[in-house]
Chains A and B, each alone.
Chain A
Amino acid sequence: MRFDTLIIGGGLTGLVAGISLQKAGRSTAIVSTGQNTLHFFSGSFASLKEAPQPMAELFAEAGIGLHYSPGVRLMPMGTFREAELSLDDVSIFSTSPFARRVLVISFPGYHEFFHPFLVEGLEKQGIYCRVHMLDLPELSRLKPATGEMRSLQLARTLDTAWNKLVQEIRLVLKDEDTVILPQVFGLNDPSVPGRIRQGIPAQVVFVGTFPPSIPGIRTQILLKRRFEVLGGTYLMGDQVMEAHVHDGVVHSVVTRNLDNHYLEADHFVLASGSFFSKGLMSNPMRVYEPVFGLDVAAAEDRNDWYNPEFAADQPYMGFGVLTDSSLHPMVDGRPLKNLFAAGSVLGATRPELGTGAGLAVNSAFAVADAILQSDTSIR
């Protein structure tokens, strides 16, 4: 099977690059080894300021609401972190304190949102908190013998039952100026968080839960749908096993599912992510890139890969494939002419600070532009 561009990796990077190329009329395929790190997306693009024009356009066309304002967002422990460009779900505060009296809503049997930590953190800052455990008949149905409930089950139910939730909250709301809810809204209907905000006569703040991230899954669903509506081919659950490279040009790749049916393309994009997604791998001897055997920037000595202080900066998170100035990765110092690298396979992201999303978007646009400007008859 032949495409103009074949992208290895179906996360934020692969999808943004794929949508841009497909929209410009280039037939594009994405091969994705299962689902991706969008499922852990905080909702903030930590390293981006205002959305660049193409990004604003692409996200709007996919039905994903973004907003920009410099400030801080509320974390699940009641602390704050700097935020600028974010999904509409995320509230960004520019004034402190962001609230005086807070009503925290959670659900009986729901353990993926630890409100006691949140309350403790907020009360330290002198913010009054009242917790209300809210039950709806629709939610009781979800609880099996163990009495536990997951974010996804909540999200699916509340996508349709959100109206009842709003009515309940209006009943229990007293003199609080702010209502805090776990971020479990709008899985399949992106309008739900906004409707909840409209329905409650107080400031509404959604706070992140344990993974998977509901706004992240929604972002994945909407971007993938957009890519497919534009005619893109998304091969989910397949894995690129090896590449056929001759004289510095990639000709085709072999995937696990399609075995001897090679996927050919004029251009290839490596958007396979970092260690989590196996875009980079390691064994006791070395850090390597498994598909092309690309040159990787990594410390020689294994003892320098990591810091024994768990919470410290971990050097291995900075490792990534080496590229020339046009994002062509290299083998033995020689760039592969029709291969581009984008996203966290480039290294230098800090997942704990959420910088991956910004790198993904910026490098995906850079690569898509380079492909659109280059001569397609490179071969």
Chain B
Amino acid sequence: MKLQEYTSSRHNFEECMKCTVCTAYCPVMQVNPLYPGPKQAGPDGERLRLKDPYFFNYALKYCMNCKRCEVACPSGVRIADLIQSARIRYDHTKPKLRDQILASTDLMGSLARPFAPIVNGVTGLKLTRGVLDATLKIDHRRTFPRYSGRSFEAWLRRREKEQSAFTEQVAYFHGCYVNYNYPKLGKDLVKVLNALGVGVKLLDHEKCCGIALITNGMSKKATSQAIHNVEALRKAVSAGLKVLTSSSTCALTLRDEYPELLGVDNADVRDSVMLATRYIFERLEKGATLRFKPDYHRKVAYHTPCHLERMGWGVFSEKLLRSIPGLEFTSLDSACCGIAGTYGFKKENYEASQAIGEPLFEQIRSVDPEVVACDCETCKWQIEMSTGYTVENPISLLADALADE
């Protein structure tokens, strides 16, 4: 008699009761009529695909993996996981060169970093963007993230001694973006954690979390990186360390995409991986204190990235920002910015990407903040490019508001 209670289907798909609620919250379905929507692409399609892989629909590639369908589902169906798993299982087309380039954030980062000023100059040129558009179908209207001349890893390594002097330690999964493009965010996190009396360690050689590989059809490579990363996490966790990320998507990938999509078991480390804002919030709740600048004032509008909505942890970033004295806080409506990692860089998705983000851009313009806060690097590129407003991670705003030593 316990059979019914304890048997569950892959990604819970049998729980779907066809209520259609997910279709109301799919950003892609609203702008792209070629996409069949989460209900059809997910649980409905899964029934057919289980009968015969012939029913796999290539239009599933339009799914951005934002997971808003899962947040909306009243029955706990992991709809986006169903869609991404189906792509992994049934779509054996070789990824295009363009998709391979976009997905290889690690490789591109290490190649571009030593020549950062040149690379930044060249990718900024109209001509380059025209050529990339014509040859690779990377949309010419898209601005590229800039590379940093010095990696975050190198910066932190030089401070190893100083960091290990703190009585308490955490490990930091910085991700490609902090390492190659924007070390300042990592430095800001170190500043905040140090102010809480916590030192920061690197993991034993992290690799890219692999989300871009997953969504670009390179799941094999993603799996080998996942296995490597879980091993690195395990070393840190068994040494008693929590592992923090400053990117909501890295956190989601390490915690949820590894077991759900790649079948990489992370059960022993999952609970120790968390977004830095949650860690800091919990430290403050337990009595730790931070000293803030007395004359700080900043008008901030907060955008919760889709993957953070899925994790349900936006509340930590929000409450942390609200606790900064002098910070005037506005919460932006729950909406996708449209970039979805590498999705919006592709020529065929550019229009849809911008149309999806438009309501959010419109609201940002009407709130007219000094800065937009957001825990995701690709949302940052999209919002900065589309609205002209500066976007900062809540960690950076926190670091900025701290009183000088």
Per-position binary interface string of chain A over residues 193-228, scored 1 when its CB falls under 8 Å from any chain B CB and 0 otherwise:
000000000000000001110000100000001001
- A250-290 interface mask toward B, CB cutoff 8 Å, 1 = contact, 0 = none? 00000111111100000000000000111000011100000
Binds A, one of B86-94, B182-190, B312-320, B369-377: B312-320
> With contacts A1-B315, A236-B309 known, is A259 near B23, CB below 8 A?
no
Task: Determine the distance from Cα of A270 to Cα of B24 in the docked complex, in whole angstroms.
Answer: 26
- Which residues between 71 and 90 of chain B lie within 8 Å of chain A, taking CB atoms? 71-76
Q: Which of B5, B76, B315 has the most CB of A within 10 A?
A: B315
Given contacts A211-B20, A237-B70, A259-B271, contact A35 B1 (CB under 8 A): no
B17, B34, B72: the one contacting A144 at CB < 8 Å is B34
Knowing A34-B72, A34-B74, A237-B70 touch, does A39 contact B21 (C-beta < 8 A)?
Answer: yes
Name B23's contact: one of A40, A150, A258, A277 (CB within 8 Å). Answer: A150
The reply on A132 being an interface residue by CB < 8 A is no
Q: Is there an interface contact between B333 and A212, defined as CB atoms closer than 8 Å?
A: no
Give Cα A196 to B252, complex, Å: 45
A39 to B271, CA, bound (A): 34
Q: Tell me the nearest residue of chain B to A152, going by C-beta.
A: B24
Interface residues of B in 282-340 (CB under 8 A from A): 282, 285, 309-313, 315, 319, 331, 333-334
Chain B residue numbers with a CB within 8 Å of A257 are 311-313
Question: Could you say which residues of chain B place their CB within 8 Å of the CB of A284?
Answer: 1, 4
* A39–B285 touching, CB < 8 Å: no
- B312 touches which of A217, A255, A283 (Cβ 8 Å): A255
Contact of A142 with B by CB under 8 A:
yes
Contact A33 B1, CB 8 Å, known A156-B30, A255-B312: no
Residues of the A chain whose Cβ atoms lie less than 8 Å from the Cβ of B34: 144-145
Instruction: Produce 1/0 per residue, A87-118, CB < 8 A to B.
Output: 00000000000000000000000000000000
- B278 interface residue (CB < 8 Å to A): yes
Closest to A220 in B: B24
* Residue of B whose beta carbon sits closest to that of A211: B20
A238 at the interface (CB under 8 A from B): yes
Q: Are A36 and B74 in contact (CB under 8 A)?
A: yes
- Measured between alpha carbons, how far is A255 from B331 in the docked complex, in Å? 23
A237 touches B71 (CB 8 A): yes
Q: B19 interface residue, CB < 8 Å from A?
A: yes
CB pair A261–B19 under 8 Å, yes or no, is no
Q: Is B388 an interface residue (CB 8 A)?
A: no
* B344 CB to nearest A CB, Å: 20
- Whether A143 is near chain B, meaning CB under 8 Å from some CB there, is yes
Residues of B within 8 A of A153 (CB): 29-30, 33
Q: Does the CB pair B315–A212 fall under 8 Å?
A: no
A residues in contact with B30, CB < 8 Å: 152-153, 156
- Are A285's CB and B19's CB within 8 A? no
The reply to whether the CB of B152 lies closer than 8 angstroms to some CB of chain A is no
The SS class assigned to the A binding surface is loop
Instruction: Give Cα distance in the complex from A284 to B5, angstroms.
Output: 9
Instruction: Given the known inter-chain contacts A34-B21, A152-B23, please indicate yes or no for A143 contacting B312, CB distance below 8 A.
Output: no
Q: A237-B312, A258-B312, A259-B271 are in contact. Are A34 and B71 (CB under 8 A)?
A: yes
Q: What are the residues of chain B within 8 A of A363 when measuring CB–CB?
A: none
Q: Which residues of B contact A228 (CB under 8 A)?
A: 331
Bound-state CA distance A141–B319 (Å) is 42
Q: A239 within 8 Å of B by Cβ?
A: yes
Bound CA–CA A69/B19 (angstroms): 31
Which A residues are in CB contact (< 8 Å) with B75?
34, 278
- Cβ of A212 and Cβ of B312 under 8 Å apart? no
Say whether A34 contacts B76, CB under 8 Å: yes
User: Which of A35, A210, A217, A225 sits near B333, CB closer than 8 Å?
Assistant: A225
Tell me whether B13 is interfacial, beta carbon within 8 Å.
Answer: no
Is B24 touching A261 in the complex (CB atoms < 8 A)? no
Given contacts A34-B72, A212-B24, contact A235 B312 (CB under 8 A): yes
Residues of B with C-beta under 8 A to A256: 312
Task: Flag if B4 contacts A35 (CB, 8 Å).
Answer: no
Which chain B residues lie closer than 8 Å to A144 at the CB level?
33-34
Bound-state CA distance A220–B271 (Å) is 33
Is there a chain A Cβ closer than 8 Å to B25's Cβ? yes
The interface size bin for chain B is 35 or more
Interface size bucket, A side? 35 or more
Beta-carbon contact of B313 and A277 below 8 Å: no
**Which of A255, A276, A285 makes the CB contact (< 8 A) with B74?**
A276
B70 to chain A: which residues have CB within 8 Å?
A: 237
Are A33 and B76 in contact, with the CB atoms below 8 A?
yes
Q: Once bound together, how far apart are the Cα atoms of A377 and B334, in whole Å?
A: 34
Min Cβ gap B186→A in Å is 25
- When distances are taken between beta carbons in the complex, the residues of chain A under 8 Å from B33 are 141-144, 153
Complex Cα spacing A260 to B285, Å: 14
Chain A residues with CB under 8 Å of B74's CB are 33-36, 276-278
B1, A285: Cβ atoms closer than 8 Å: yes
In the assembled complex, A191 has its CB within 8 A of some CB on chain B: no
Q: Is A233 an interface residue (CB 8 A)?
A: yes
- Report how far A239 CA is from B310 CA in the complex, Å: 12
* Chain A 39-63: CB-based contact to B (< 8 A → 1; otherwise 0): 1100000000000000000000000
Return chain A residues, CB-CB under 8 Å to B313.
257-258
Which residues on A sit within 8 Å (CB–CB) of B312?
235-238, 255-258
A39 lies within 8 A of B19 (CB): yes
Q: Nearest chain A CB to B311's CB is how many angstroms away?
A: 6
The reply to whether A39 and B278 contact each other, CB–CB distance below 8 Å, is no
| CB-based nearest B residue for A257 | B312
Chain B residues with Cβ below 8 Å from A210 are 20
Point out the residue from A150, A237, A238 that lies within 8 Å of B72, measured CB to CB.
A237
CB of A283 to closest CB in B, whole Å: 5
User: Inside 8 A of A255's CB, which chain B residues have their CB?
Assistant: 312
- Chain A 234-252, CB within 8 Å of chain B: the 1/0 string? 0111110000000000000
Distance A221 CA – B297 CA, assembled complex (angstroms): 31
Instruction: Determine if B24 and A35 form an interchain contact, defined as CB atoms under 8 angstroms apart.
Output: yes
19 A–B pairs (Cβ distance < 8 Å), ordered by A: A1-B285, A34-B21, A35-B21, A152-B23, A152-B24, A153-B29, A153-B33, A211-B19, A225-B333, A235-B312, A236-B72, A237-B70, A237-B73, A257-B312, A258-B313, A278-B74, A283-B1, A283-B5, A284-B1
Known: A39-B19, A152-B29. 10 other contacts (CB 8 A): A34-B74, A141-B33, A152-B24, A152-B30, A153-B29, A210-B20, A211-B19, A236-B309, A276-B17, A278-B75
Q: Shortest 4 CB-CB distances between A and B: which pairs?
A: A257-B312, A237-B71, A34-B74, A144-B33
